[in-house]
Structure 1
Amino acid sequence: MTELPIESALPELIKALGANTGAVLVAPPGAGKTTRVPLALLNESWLAGRKILMLEPRRLAARAAARFMASALDEPVGQTVGYRVKLDSKTSPSTRIEVITEGVLTRLLQADPALEDVGLVIFDEFHERSLHADTGLALCLQSQALLRDDLRLLVMSATLDAEPVAQLLNEAPIVLSEGRSYPVETIFREKRVDGRIEPELVRTIQTALADHAGDLLVFLPGEGEIRRVQARLRELELGPGVRITPLYGSLPQEAQDQAIAPSPPGTRKIVLATSIAESSLTVEGVRIVIDSGLMRVPRFSPRTGMTSLATVPVSRASADQRRGRAGRLAPGVCYRLWTEADDRRLASRTTPEMLEADLAALALELAAWGVADPAELLWLDPPPAAAFAQARELLRQLGALNGDGGITPHGKSMAELGLHPRLAHMMLQAVPLQLGELACELAALLNERDMLRSEPQAANADVRLRLEALRRSTPQAGAREASGELPGGEAFYQGFTVDTVACRRIAAEASQWKRALRLSQDSHRSGDIDACGMLLAFAYPDRIGQQRTTGRFLLRNGRGAAFGVVQPLSRAAYLVAASLDDQGQDSRIHLAAPLELQELEACMRDQITEESVIEWDRTVQAVRARKRRRLGALTLGEQTIVNPSPDEALAAVLQGIAMEGLSILPWSKASRQLQLRLQFMHHADPANWPDACEQALLDSMEEWLAPHLYGMRSRADLARLNLHDILEAWLPWEQRKELDAYAPTHFQVPSGSRIAIDYNEPSQPLLSVRLQEMFGLLDTPRIGRGRVPLTLHLLSPASRPVQVTQDLASFWSGTYFEVKKDLKGRYPKHYWPDDPLIAQPTNRVRPRT
């Protein structure tokens, strides 16, 4: 066995675990910690013949590590060393080292909280801070504290900040391995990549092949980018013996093995990989790394309750991990598709998944563990309170939690399946409906990336189309040739390209769930695919949508959703959106199924509410009384209430007036003047007189208006109101008398005319009067028992203002003579005396003789 750098640190690690129940091992990539440490600890006395569980974040790494350790013992996988991952396991009664993916640990802990047959749990590549790893560590720490004080925990990583983890493990010792690496030249771009990264990656690959020896490891954010780069490279002349091998999690095991295996002599390989190749496993022969600087991560939105994949820049720790892959065996080179300035702005570490993920599965795990409050456990980063509360609310909606927050029998059954709670609930609800087989296929399909590919203009989000293609592409549906399968794992179905490799994975996973539910493996009810919408409603009750317009839907949770292009489902009256993004006002629907109203009412029967809605309808300007059936934000149906109660009808009329404003009422000149006079009185004496401005009247309608509205239901009814009498009746008798004395409606001027006083400005009541009608009045007229002068707008014979004053005496003695000259010239037939104080007032051209 080749000696690896980790060997020098093993004695210290063995000593640390002999004296403590926890340790932290920090070793750089390529040191050998994943494959050497479990074997070195296998025969320690404190293990006492128990198992070692080692958690790997990815299935590929788990299988590769198990195979490597088994070969080191000259044994097949499944004897001393085995593995257990999703859809695949190789273990036996003699297995002592079991490499598992992180979700398996929580299943083992739920089944046996003490882990009686386990002596050591190793958390490998813990720096990735996956939700499963954080949860598994928290549960193991509680198990260690309450049930198994001899259980050892070892956290291993290449780039971990070790101190916080050591403190969490009760001040556990930290063991460092210096590792061994060769120098790696780093080449940055001079300017940022504009547009898509694929063309620049291809150019960089061509340059690297020409300038350097060895295999290439190219990091891309996802499978879509890998496919596009692979297609471009196949169109080029790359030279003899150059192979292109993709590497991502959903590839078949054989294809993954080809990517990480050494290249035969005289050949080179270009490995196009996601972050799966960043740690845990070694891609043999790599001397050149080309890093796009991007990674794809799930982001949960508490605002919408949806998770979407986001493409984000890598952290500095991840970039260094990737760069280190070029220097494991010899000096290498790393091309970075970003500038040195951008490099300085990279985040130091990747955000823990706990802080950005959907926490529904975590909330269910903790409820099954007997923990309602995450604060009862030890965490490096505790679950965010808002996201955790939202997760528990979803579990209550799915029937997994009772009113007190404890897990229900249904919730326990959901937790035992190990699926996302939405899908577990759907499967369990489907069994008594004899739709269990369909639910298993649907759950497996939703767990996989979309198996259909098409041009955007031909998009079809109908999940039923995928299920039909799945059944045609799997052995149970008949000969594969009948589906038009092409070399390379593709087939055609109804004009779409079907990924048959993905179909096989989906079928295998569906078979696993059928076995878990003890269902027949090959029975399908005739026409059962049409029940997809009802099953999705069980899984996504918050995403049941009702059509607003063609292609646009209102979801039960109040959000909007829409299709990107018109397609068959655009005209569905109801649907369930299984997959959508979180962009813009209306989320884009990627996967959905139609739902009949009868199905909706059947499967959501206990969540549909009935309410009486008596409200003002602005369209018809009247009260509408209806009985509605509602599901969240959706109105499923309604019928008219013929005789609503008088009090409810009154409340609706008041609501309508508040919506429309006081202009909906039949204001006359007299009633509007009365309102303004009241405002004048309120301005003069706010403690004793009511506020009669528009907003104040709206706010106090219950007092002054409501008693007069009984029996009214429309704007036409409101037209019968006498607002003057209603406002007057609002006042006590004494105030009515005082109002007339203090704020009269009119003022009789010297000519004998009674002229209405304008109270529009409460602080300055106004009298507009022709100048000739004021002859003989020596001083400014006053109201308010002589305390408030009227503002006079003195008018010409044509009723145009010629002077504004509150000092009539000064006007007569001075300004009048200038005004007289002008008016006499324009109105020569009118009477313009030399002494206005003794002149006869008139409302005519000239006074009567």
Structure 2
Amino acid sequence: MLPVQTIYADLVDQLHSQPVTLLQAPPGAGKSTWLPLQLVRDKHFKRIIMLEPRRLAARNIAHFLASCQQEPLGQSIGLRIRNEQYVSAQTQLEIVTEGVLTRMLQQDPELSGVDCLIFDEFHERSLAADTALAFALEIQAALRDDLTILIMSATLDADHIAEQLNCQLIQSEGRSYPIVERYVALKDESNWLFEMPAIIKQAISEESGSCLVFLPGQREITYLNQQLMDLPPDIEVFTLFGDQNKREQQAAIAPAPSGKRKVVLTTNVAETSLTIEGIRIVIDSGRKRAAQFNIKTGVTELVTAQISRSSAVQRAGRAGRLEPGVVYRLGSLAQFERRDAHDKPEILSSDISQLLLEASLWGCDIAELTLLDSPSLIAQQQAWQVLIMLEAVDEQHKITPFGRQMLSFGTDLRLAHMLLKAQALQAEEPQLLPLAIYLVALLESRVSKHPDLAFALQNKHYLTHPQFKLSLKMWLKRFGLKPSESLQTEDLGLLVAMAFPDRMAKRRGQGYQLANGAGADVIEGHWHKDEYVAIAELGGHKGQRIFSAVPVAIGQLQTYLPHLFQRCDVCEFDEKAQRFIAESRLMLGALVIERKDNKTNLDESLRTQAWLNLVAKHGLNLFAEYSNCQQLLIRMELAAKYFPDSFSQCSDAYLTRHLSVWLAPYLANISTFAQLKKIALFEILSNMLDWESQHQLKQLFPTKVKVPSGSTIGLEYQLDGPATLSVRMQEVYGWMQSPEIAKGKVPVLMALLSPAGRPLQLTQNLAGFWQGSYKEVQKEMKGRYPKHFWPDDPATSVATNRVKSRM
């Protein structure tokens, strides 16, 4: 019996009584296959849509379930993935992938005829899955209270999800078969790949059955495939990854021929919802290829990263699907236990342009959606800027007709924008669309490593790679075009700018400055004489190395992409010359394309903006009074942290971002740099609070406290940790505890000093100190400071700031 069968009755009851249910079941429990099929057979729902994150898993599950029904795909069991659709009026269970589900929700927000949505392998927490779930929850709340949502995985971050969605967790205990864990120490972590062939050979010599090897990507798979040519004749090596054709994928998944074993080299496509018959050995490199978004450059780059412990459990589970198995993990047990418990959700580490555009089409702000994790404000601002440059939204962040078309394309938003622009210009520039299709095929297939895009495109045009050829065929068919006999690449820069307007770059020193403000380094031997380039791929150290680009004519961009350019009047203060410079500039993002001296008189607003820009550049420490304001700023920030209903944010970063709100009114009469530096910063910051709030701040976070001796002693605050009260020990006799600050929310650390002001004791527990280590201090101090009062019972003694003779 499959593990999920033991909780089936309870699960069904939960599904019929609650809007959202979480199911946590181990690999091989039957949650992706037996469970949805049984729900169909028992007629609990009229139509179920099940989301599978990966195309390979979606395709295999759909075919398997259709065979269980003894039907061709497209009858009771359906499948809908990119470029494949098998559904009919008889379909009761439809397997779909992420982008497909989002389109279905956008096109039919009521989900007509569907009464159950299943989110499988939700632990992967892709941006698309989070988006689809947020839309489904809104549909359920506003339009379809009869819609049931089931979220499931072997390794869910269940507590977090259950808390966010206020839903019940059902767990299926036990694994189908036990798995032995073995940890393989590496001689050199940096050369782990070179140790893999020996580890694989050791594993297949020690254990029976076939072997599944998890690797980060195709490069590592290719290397190991070549290194395993000398295996015994009864062992065959197969490769399995997402970009393979179906025939190769099926060969990897199929059982080994009678009398033979197989070694399958795979990426994390085999991590979930996939059973490869005969596998009882898993070798886990502990690594994956992950998308890492650089907020500064606006580039998402694939990097090799450590997997989480939950992903490692998923991978190991492949060994115990059909019989007892074994997993070999690279590295020590201690290293394994130091990994993150769960993968970081994509929404916190990815470009969220797609999410914002989907939400705009949906008709809401993302703050109104039920998202399990919220992206940062900086990530949102960066994404909106890109969407505006791509003409997907207007300045008010409303989706444009262009944006609607881009979402319907089923590809990266940038590439969709390029294709649509090229199509719109087909009448006057007919060569653009065919060239755009070839460029999309090149970028989607990721088969070129040459930095010169024009050379790479010509090369792949005549020496077609299978992945390039497949993508090219699909896009040519979609636009009704035939392959080009000759490919002219003169307009390639224009097309790259259409897709990556924020990566337009201007020569600066030995490198380039991007339109988004970031800097970029060139590859030696390329683009040294080009003033402007359009960059398709960035990466490397700090995400600032240009991997592929093409020169571009700025005049051509002004003709065909005029929305990228803005003319503005700028006033800056030149610190070297100690004077204002006023110019009229033509800008492409952060790039100055053209500048002219502005002969008009400087008005107050331009001069004020120049001062604001200067302060933003240097920070608040530009001001002479800044050091005297730091305690005030910390107190204001603590007030906002612990009493957000009464106080607003007030960090340095927040103040720097909002200079125009609080500082600008005080700059009207500032005419010199010296005057700016001497501005009354303490008074200005204090005036950000009204009289009542200033009084409340003094009460909650006093600058001084009165101690038992009658003295008034200053408090020193810090953002993280207790406030410090440095006071002579004799002055706090009689106190049993530290003073209370911020209604007890901020502890006070007592720094007790000698009569000479030297540290004697740090404590947050005065009563404990008086009863404990004070005796040792007393002995020493009596000898060193005999004129001072050192009572036997300081907790009940009278405090003093005088010597004994004057008490």
Equivalent in the alignment of 2:326: 333
Question: 2: CA distance between counterparts of 1:168 and 1:629?
Answer: 47
Equivalent in the alignment of 1:100: 96
Q: Residue 453 of structure 2: which of 431, 438, 463 is its match?
A: 463
Question: 1: CA distance between counterparts of 2:241 and 2:453?
Answer: 24
Provide closer, same or farther for how the CA distance between residues 562 and 510 of structure 1 changes in structure 2, counting only shifts above 3 A: farther
- For residue 191 of structure 1, report the CA deviation from its aligned partner: 4.8
Provide closer, same or farther for how the CA distance between residues 376 and 632 of structure 1 changes in structure 2, counting only shifts above 3 A: closer
Question: 1: CA distance between counterparts of 2:676 and 2:12?
Answer: 82
Equivalent in the alignment of 1:630: 587
- For residue 645 of structure 1, report the CA deviation from its aligned partner: 6.3
- For residue 437 of structure 1, report the CA deviation from its aligned partner: 3.5
State the percentage of identical aligned residues: 40
1:178 and 2:173 matched: yes
1:265 is paired with a residue whose SS is coil
Equivalent in the alignment of 2:14: 16
**2:592 partner amino acid:** T
Equivalent in the alignment of 2:793: none
**2:498 partner amino acid:** F
- For residue 261 of structure 1, report the CA deviation from its aligned partner: 1.0
Equivalent in the alignment of 2:443: 446
CA contact (8 A) 1:186 1:335 kept: yes
Question: 2: CA distance between counterparts of 1:381 and 1:618?
Answer: 43
Question: 1: CA distance between counterparts of 2:187 and 2:601?
Answer: 69
**2:348 partner amino acid:** L
Question: 2: CA distance between counterparts of 1:187 and 1:120?
Answer: 41
Question: 1: CA distance between counterparts of 2:15 and 2:126?
Answer: 24
Q: Residue 39 of structure 2: which of 38, 41, 45 is its match?
A: 41
CA contact (8 A) 1:10 1:40 kept: no
Which one is further off, 71-80 or 390-399?
A: 390-399
Question: 2: CA distance between counterparts of 1:418 and 1:502?
Answer: 17
1:28-427 correspondence to structure 2 within 5 Å:
28-44=26-42, 47-48=45-46, 51-172=47-168, 174-191=169-186, 193-234=188-229, 237-372=230-365, 374-427=366-419
Question: 2: CA distance between counterparts of 1:544 and 1:633?
Answer: 10
Equivalent in the alignment of 1:537: 497
Equivalent in the alignment of 2:466: 501
- For residue 303 of structure 1, report the CA deviation from its aligned partner: 2.1
CA contact (8 A) 2:28 2:175 kept: yes
Question: 1: CA distance between counterparts of 2:671 and 2:20?
Answer: 70
1:693-704 correspondence to structure 2 within 5 Å:
699=674
Provide closer, same or farther for how the CA distance between residues 124 and 597 of structure 1 changes in structure 2, counting only shifts above 3 A: same
Question: 1: CA distance between counterparts of 2:88 and 2:469?
Answer: 26
1:117 is paired with a residue whose SS is coil
- Where do 5+ consecutive residues of structure 2 fail to align? 427-431, 615-669, 678-807
Provide closer, same or farther for how the CA distance between residues 637 and 333 of structure 1 changes in structure 2, counting only shifts above 3 A: same
**2:392 partner amino acid:** A
Q: Deviations over 1:107-138 (max 9, x none)?
A: 00110001102121110011111111111111
- Number of residues of Structure 1 aligned to a counterpart in Structure 2: 614
| TM-score normalised to structure 2 length | 0.70
CA contact (8 A) 1:218 1:273 kept: yes
1:428 and 2:428 matched: no
1:197 is paired with a residue whose SS is helix
Q: Deviations over 1:663-690 (max 9, x none)?
A: xxxxxxxxxxxxxxxxxxxxxxxxxxxx
Q: Deviations over 1:720-764 (max 9, x none)?
A: xxxxxxxxxxxxxxxxxxxxxxxxxxxxxxxxxxxxxxxxxxxxx
2:371 is paired with a residue whose SS is coil
**1:76 partner amino acid:** P
CA contact (8 A) 2:389 2:502 kept: no
Question: 1: CA distance between counterparts of 2:544 and 2:273?
Answer: 37
1:521-532 correspondence to structure 2 within 5 Å:
521-522=481-482, 524=484, 528-532=488-492
Equivalent in the alignment of 1:559: 518
Provide closer, same or farther for how the CA distance between residues 594 and 209 of structure 1 changes in structure 2, counting only shifts above 3 A: same
2:201 is paired with a residue whose SS is helix
Question: 1: CA distance between counterparts of 2:528 and 2:258?
Answer: 56
Q: Deviations over 1:574-625 (max 9, x none)?
A: 21111101624x7111222221122122233233234567989999999998
2:182 is paired with a residue whose SS is strand
**1:467 partner amino acid:** L
Q: Residue 571 of structure 1: which of 523, 529, 541 is its match?
A: 529
CA contact (8 A) 2:186 2:192 kept: no
- For residue 210 of structure 1, report the CA deviation from its aligned partner: 1.7
CA contact (8 A) 1:627 1:638 kept: yes
2:343 is paired with a residue whose SS is coil
- For residue 341 of structure 1, report the CA deviation from its aligned partner: 1.8
Question: 2: CA distance between counterparts of 1:546 and 1:146?
Answer: 49
Q: Deviations over 1:124-173 (max 9, x none)?
A: 0111111111111110010011111111111111111334434555534x
CA contact (8 A) 1:358 1:387 kept: yes
**2:512 partner amino acid:** F
**2:121 partner amino acid:** E
Equivalent in the alignment of 1:836: none
Question: 1: CA distance between counterparts of 2:373 and 2:575?
Answer: 51
1:602 is paired with a residue whose SS is helix
- Where do 5+ consecutive residues of structure 1 fail to align? 454-459, 473-482, 484-497, 659-694, 703-849
**1:24 partner amino acid:** L
- For residue 520 of structure 1, report the CA deviation from its aligned partner: 2.5
- For residue 699 of structure 1, report the CA deviation from its aligned partner: 2.4
